[in-house]
Amino acid sequence: MKYVAMIYGNQAKWDAFPAEAWPEAIARQEAFNRKYRESGELLGAYGLADAAAAQLVRRRDGAPVVTDGPYLETKEYIASFCLLDCESLERAQQIAADMPFADAEPVELWPVLHESAADA
């Protein structure tokens, strides 16, 4: 079964994170990625840009309408996500708990109910 594991962030948290701590944090994340890629359980890991770079896209009269996003009242946003392929929910929970920031931030775990393969 596939799962999306998401970690949320907000600009205040990232601004408070000491610059000298980023190399170690990135190394921990890369070690996590390597470990679960090698086991075949990590299909992809993606870190997202700051919320200031996000856009909202709607369709109006068949054409895209793009505005800055997310909504102004949004304080937390998805900072990163992983796509997992695990034998069980319990295994997905174990991997989510092993994510480097899981000791400081909760990891949201969502089952993937439908997939349309990109190579189909």
Residue 10 sits in a domain of what CATH number? Answer: 3.30.70.1060
Neighbours of 43 (CB within 10 A): 13
| Residue-number span of the structural domain to which 90 is assigned | 2-111
pLDDT at 54: 85
Dist CA 101 CA 93 (whole Å) = 14
Q: Where residue 94 falls among pLDDT bands split at 50, 70, 90?
A: very high
Model-level pTM? 0.83
Give the percent of the chain with pLDDT over 90. Answer: 55
Q: For residue range 59-84, list pLDDT tens digits in order.
A: 999 999 998 876 656 677 888 999 99
Would 116 be classed as within a structural domain? no
* Domains identified in the chain, total number: 1
pLDDT at 43: 97
110 or 49, which is more confident = 110
Q: Where residue 104 falls among pLDDT bands split at 50, 70, 90?
A: confident
Give the percent of the chain with pLDDT over 70. Answer: 95
Would 57 be classed as within a structural domain? yes
Would 89 be classed as within a structural domain? yes
Mean pLDDT on 25-45 = 96
User: Which residue, 37, 22, 26, is CA-closest to 82?
Assistant: 37
Dist CA 106 CA 94 (whole Å) = 13
Would 59 be classed as within a structural domain? yes
1 near 111, Cβ under 8 Å?
A: yes
33 near 42, Cβ under 8 Å?
A: yes
